[in-house]
Structure 1
């Protein structure tokens, strides 16, 4: 009798273990990797150093006198934010926004003509971007620190370059992709003052020019 009870108890325990394992497996969700998502874009990044966007529509036809230049736009989508004529745009802040994604002003003389990502061919545009990432505080320059593990500002995209890009994107409240699209930034040698708007908020654009800036 005792032997029968022992066998029965072992059988019940075995069944319980199998049921527990099956439930555990069926309840497990496979995790998939995805790009990091930051908080929504902050007004600190969107708004330029002076002025604001509240009067952008009313200021559509305002034109500042003086020599000016149209800035080429490579972003595609709906214009969701504009500065006002007269606003000064500093490096690291938005010139305008398309689909709620800012087009950022960076310092440099070479126009942004391609996407910059891991394994792209070497070029001076890479060094120009890396210098801005250092200036914005998203990387340390190896020359300044003497540390070989810090970013080397050169023509080559490295994993550290990509990491710095991702940090910069997160600081803007953007999806961290590690890729800078050719429509994401505009390079200029100096900070700019907006002289004229060529589009309105809500307008769909594909290339062309969104605004002009005064030139010295």
Structure 2
């Protein structure tokens, strides 16, 4: 009997019949879903999750990666803000001389005690050191004026002719000289001019080398003689009387700022501005985050050349202002307060006079706490953070302060010296 050979469609080279409509798409979805489920299970198994305890058993071999120990240390939060190196805010010189400005110093000039700040009607306006402003004329009153004779008749009292500015014995230069205060008025027996302003002027006169009188609160005939010698050295008429516009006081030597008038203009309140001679840093600190700015607080100043110098908060502004022309749409920039930082070691700044700098200050601090590198933290599926031990187990931890690339951790399963893995 002849054999019947039946060829299948596949053997005949025919294409297999297409599956019923819709089945292929459903199969693809089912396969993809299965893969997702398998991947999810693998992840859960690798992380050792599924329980609620602090320490989890590992269901997978330890993963590769370096391990680090949990250490106990002090974490310090450091924050860096921008600042500006300079000589501080320029303020007007309290010039009381009236007349025409006939000479002005160059901007940036340093003026010491006894030197000329400017000339008005070709008369020098001289810098002296002190807190009281020049508020009245100093001289002999009608009841104490005496014939003092000429310079050649001056008695031999050990007076040193003076006339040159001294560089020693002067008060330490102030960062921002701020003439202020009030003096005592004239008084005393016989109409003698007395007061703290007399003492202040006589102290300066003696420091410049014009002596022969007692430095006290009384302007005497001997004081007038010394004033005449001082006036002669300045090329002024030797009257023995100090005019209210002849002297300007500051707490120390000053650095000339910009001029508010030109030569030939009348002397006004803003004829010249000045600062102290010590460089400092001003930071416009956020008014909402200025708790670090406490007088006396130590900071670190980063210079443009990469060097760091020590600084100290000297003053903090009491009024917050919003920077002009700043801020995004629909709102203005956050209010700031000026924080002035002094630099004790002026040589450490080099020759820089003005430059943008950074200021690093210490914020929060946590002493004697357990810490790990931030990179060692892993996110747990049930929420929060955990650490992977060297043998592949995962333990839940609570995090605290983040600082210097490390984080404070705590929990019942965490201990000092415990090795944890840094995930790759």
TM-score greater than 0.5 by the shorter chain: yes
- CA radius of gyration, larger in: 2
After superposition, the Cα gap between the structure-2 partners of 1:65 and 1:152, relative to the gap in structure 1 and judged at 3 Å, is closer
Asked whether 1:125 is paired with 2:197, we answer yes
Unaligned runs of 5+ in 2: 1-85, 142-185, 187-192, 279-424
Distance 1:99 1:203 in 2: 11
Do residues 68 (structure 1) and 130 (structure 2) align?
A: no
1:183 aligns to 2:272 (yes or no) = no
- The DSSP-based 3-state class of the residue aligned with 1:204 is coil
Residues 65 and 163 (structure 1 numbering): CA distance in 2 closer, same or farther, change over 3 Å? closer
Counterpart of 1:95 (choices 113, 117, 133) is 117
Equivalent residue pairs, number:
142
CA shift, 1:65, in A, is 6.7
Deviation string 1:143-177 (CA, Å, 9 cap, x unpaired) is xxxxxxx4111111100000010010001111101
Please report the TM-score for the alignment, with normalisation by the length of structure 2: 0.32
Output the CA distance in 1 between the equivalents of 2:248 and 2:134. 6
Alignment correspondent of 1:198: 260
Deviations 1:83-121 (A, max 9, x none): 011010111111000011010001111111000011353
Provide runs of 4+ in structure 1 moved above 3 Å.
none
Query: What's the TM-score once normalised by structure 1's chain length?
Result: 0.63
The question of whether the paired residues in 2 share the 8 Å contact of 1:65 and 1:195 is answered with no
Work out the CA distance in 2 between the residues paired with 1:97 and 1:114: 19
Partner of 1:13 in structure 2?
none
1: CA distance, partners of 2:101 / 2:261: 8
After superposition, residues 13-24 of structure 1 pair within 5 angstroms as none
Distance 2:264 2:248 in 1: 21
2-structure distance, mates of 1:177, 1:116: 11
How far, CA to CA, are the matches of 1:65 and 1:157 in structure 2? 37
Find the residue that maps to 1:67 and give its secondary structure.
coil
- CA-based RMSD of the aligned residues comes to 1.5
Q: Which has the higher helix share?
A: 1
* 1:210 counterpart = 2:271: yes
**When you count strand as a share of all residues, which structure comes out higher?**
2
Name the counterpart of 1:25: none
Aligned counterpart, 2:146: none
CA distance in 2, matches of 1:198, 1:104: 18
For structure 1, list consecutive stretches of 5 or more residues without a partner in the other structure.
1-63, 140-149
